[in-house]
Amino acid sequence: MAEQIRDNIIRAEYSEEMQRSYIDYAMSVIVSRALPDVRDGLKPVQRRTLYDMYELGIRYDRPYRKCARIVGDTMGKYHPHGDSSIYEALVVMSQEFKRGQALVDGHGNFGSIEGDGAAAMRYTEARLMRITQEVYLADLDKDVVDFLPNFDETEREPCVLPVRVPNLLINGAEGIAVGMATSIPPHNLGEVIDAVKAYIKDNDITVKGLMRHLKGPDFPTGGLVVNQDDLLEIYSRGCGKIRLRGKVELEEKKGGRRALVITEIPYTMIGANIGKFLNDVASLVENRLTTDITDISNQSSKEGIRIVLELRKGADAENLKNMLYKKTRLEDTFGVNMLAVADGRPETLDLKQLIRHHVDFQVDVCTRKHKTLLAKELEKKEIQEGLIKACDVIDLIIEILRGSKNQTQAKACLMNGTTEGIRFRTQTSRKQAAKLRFTQRQATAILEMRLYRLIGLEVEALMKEHEKTLADIARYEKILGNPGTMMDVIVKDLNAIKRTYARERRTALENAAEVVFKETAPKELEVGFLIDKFGYAKVIDKAAYERNQEIIRGEYRYAFPCMNTDKICIFTNTGKMHLAKIEDLPLVKLRGKGTPIDNVSNYDSQEEKIIFIASLPSIKAASLLFATARGLIKQVDGPEFDVTKRTIAALKLGDGDSVVFAGISSYAEFTVLQSRGGYFLRMATRDIPFQKRNSLGVHGIRLEGDDLVEHAYLLGAHAACQIRHGEKTLDLGRLKLAKRDTRGTRL
């Protein structure tokens, strides 16, 4: 037994095995899950779902079927990766606002453009769209594509669907694989077909030539592409950025009022980003970046997008429109990366390469289709010729059948002229029978022929059918033998598809200059800044701040007056200083809701603790003192914190050290350090050196063992400061004055 175990042990280098396994996993994700195939433009889950619906007979002219049935059947037969991915693919293929051409006809709640999710699959129903059945799944019975075993080798599935249009361009694609991603915008079906026809006419056509037909992306949400001149480079390289804008119209209202109405949105705003856009507009109003908007309403419906911004009288509508483009996602970018699986490997394709792959695939599909049709017609021709010949000698055939003992004997006579064992009326009949040489297929057809086929009109119909068969054979042979004729067939097919399914372009293409809007400086006002113990910050007006000092002192951790144009400095225990703008905070009443300070700065409440907050003007006019848990202290001139970066290092910290105190030291005569072990050290503030922000500081108190500084106090020359220490009340001003870097007094 031990010998057998030793024989089964495979010795391998660990790093090489990990590398090989990871590459295998990555390629599996890239080819078999995340990226579409350039031939049909579908990912495996989409292809398998459509094929399963085709197999179940859920056609466009038949009743809808429960999505749960479709998902379960697809998962059980072809895609063993969980029902959620299959249902999500089914839902997306039915959403016209996400795809240039919907492939599934959904019945029920399949989500909305505003980000509402689809209902559970047990409630919704679906069936194939007509275009899917006629353009994506037609001719599967004609051996046009290869079929492979499914995951458990109990079924067979197509490795690619015989899609007759470049679906990768028409519907676009998005997917994230391992180390790569694809992002292809949707295009207009009619324009794509025109580009394919142009390539078929001239294989040497350039990308620029193709773009005379395919102008650019055509998003289902409409909108504007405003960098048209960049499209040639994007389609030549297969990657780049498309700038999108929503469509905004100015409407006149009653009473001389006006409104900006957004009727089309950028493709990137689909889903939750519509809600975010409304919140962003509301924030512009709350933060007083504009006073021109009096009301916001989302009146969108099944008929389309309609977001209405009511304007005050005299508002500069054009400037406000530019502000929306600049400050919200009403103008956005769509990153293009035309990556797809071509010849079994991922490849970034330009427009011409993508169309070339499609045309090559169509030639292969068309060749296989007409070879299959030709083989069937040749079989029909053989049978028809046998039946026609049989009609001429029908009396002899009847005599053979009546004189034969069994079917095998009669068939042998028809095929080989074998007359042994068959009774004939005359020797002449026997001699004629010996000359018969029907093929096996013809003999079988003769034996299965019904007597009504001997009627004169039926014989005439057989002759006409034979003539049609000969014509079809000649046509198929011409298609297969002449590449030009085959291309004519493909073009004719494309023209029929365009006539039936093409529609007008929805996205406008133009070159627009960078938006410019005059940002009016907000009127300077005195306000009060408040932040509570939970980290919620807000701004109240000056009068409310001065009137409620007692409440503010009791309920808020930090509170100070400032201007609405100021910035605030947030110092944390990690040694960082975060900047936040007062204008980003909501101006509310005293009991109004604030916003987490995390939302308006880089401060992370999960990782950091606020040590000190003050306005930037007050810090610039003073000096700051810092104390760390390891007993290091220093002073820094306030102007060093006048920076533009949102986050800087306020001081350098050693390993395991943290800031325990920060405060304005300009008017402090004395500084007191307090350790956890009960040591207090009072020193003259002037003895603490001034240093740069990126320095460690100097020793303030000498600590022993694992003792740490837990707090510091700044005292005026004659100010009394009493604290509770244990059960005693301690007056810090009465502590013995000592030198820096000593142990201090223990209580």
Determine the Cα–Cα distance for residues 111 and 100; give it in Å rounded to an integer: 17
Q: Which of these, 421, 439, 440, 443, lies nearest to 430 by C-alpha position?
A: 421
What is the three-state SS of 597-630? Answer: HHHHCCCCCCCCCEEEEEEHHHHHCCEEEEEECC
Separation of alpha carbons 458 and 105, rounded Å = 44
**Where is 8: in which H helix or E strand?**
helix 2-8
CA separation for the pair 161, 164 (Å, rounded) = 9
3-class DSSP state of 149: strand
Neighbour-count burial for 331-347, b at 16+ CB within 10 Å, e otherwise: bbebebbbbbbbeeebb
- Which residues does 279 contact at the CB level (< 8 Å), separation at least 6? none
3-state helix, strand, coil in the chain (%, to 5): 40, 25, 35
- 3-class DSSP state for residue 726? coil
Q: How far apart are CA 39 and CA 680, in angstroms?
A: 78
Q: Contact at 8 Å (CB) between 490 and 479?
A: no
Contact 238, 279 (CB under 8 A): no
Q: Which helix (H) or strand (E) holds 296?
A: strand 293-298
Alpha-carbon distance of 322 to 73, in angstroms, equals: 51
- Residue 720, both tokens: 């009394």
| Catalytic residue selected from 123, 136, 536, 667 | 123
Which tokens go with 101?
């051409």
**Phi, psi dihedrals of residue 248, rounded to the nearest 5°:** -120, 130
Q: What is the DSSP string of 691-719?
A: --TTS--EE-B---TT--EEEEEEE-SS-
Instruction: Give the single-character DSSP code of 585.
Output: S
- Rounded Cα distance between 61 and 71, Å, is 20
- H or E element, residue 241: strand 239-245
Task: Note whether 57 and 64 are within 8 A (CB).
Answer: no
Q: Which residues neighbour 97 within 8 Å (Cβ) at sequence distance 6 or greater?
A: 113, 220, 221, 270
The residue type of 643 is V
DSSP state of 119: P
Tokens of 427: 């020797």
**How many other CB atoms are there within 10 angstroms of residue 330's CB atom?**
25
Report the distance separating Cα 175 and Cα 339, nearest Å: 9
Cβ(216)–Cβ(206) below 8 Å:
no
**Exposure string (b/e) for 687-709, b if CB count within 10 Å is 16 or more?**
ebeebebeeebeebbebeeebbb
Dist CA 42 CA 90 (whole Å): 12
CA distances for 567 relative to 49, 79, 552, 578, 643, angstroms: 56, 56, 21, 10, 11
Q: Which two tokens stand for residue 64?
A: 């809808």
Q: Where are the alpha helices (DSSP H) in 33-117?
A: 44-56, 67-77, 83-94
The DSSP letter of residue 379 is H
**Six-digit token string for 176:** 């994230």
Residue 527 tokens read as 């306000």
Residue 619 amino acid letter? I
Examine the residue annotation and report whether 536 is marked as an active-site residue of this protein.
no
Residues with active-site annotation: 123
